[in-house]
Amino acid sequence: MSEGAAEPPRRPGPIGGDMAAIVFGLARRFRLPPLTERHSSRAVLGLFAFVNGLIAIAAMSLVALVTGEPFVFPSLGPTAFLLFYTPMLPAASPRNTLAGHAIGAAAGYLALAVFGLLHDPPALASSVTAARAGAAGLSLGLTSGAMVWAGVPHPPAGATTLIVSLGILREPEQLAVLMVAVGLLVLQGFAINRLAGIAYPRWSPPPPAA
Chain mean pLDDT for the chain: 91
Nearest to 22 by CA among 188, 207, 154, 204: 188
One-letter amino acid identity for 47? Answer: L
Q: Directed axis angle between helix 94-114 and helix 172-195, to 10°?
A: 160
pTM (predicted TM-score): 0.90
Residues 6 or more apart whose CB falls under 8 angstroms from that of 115 comprise 131, 132, 134, 135, 138
CB 91 within 8 A of CB 82: yes
Q: CB neighbours (10 Å) of residue 95?
A: 18
Residues above pLDDT 90, as percent of the chain = 79
Q: pLDDT digit string (tens) for 142-184?
A: 999 999 999 999 999 999 999 999 999 999 999 999 999 999 9
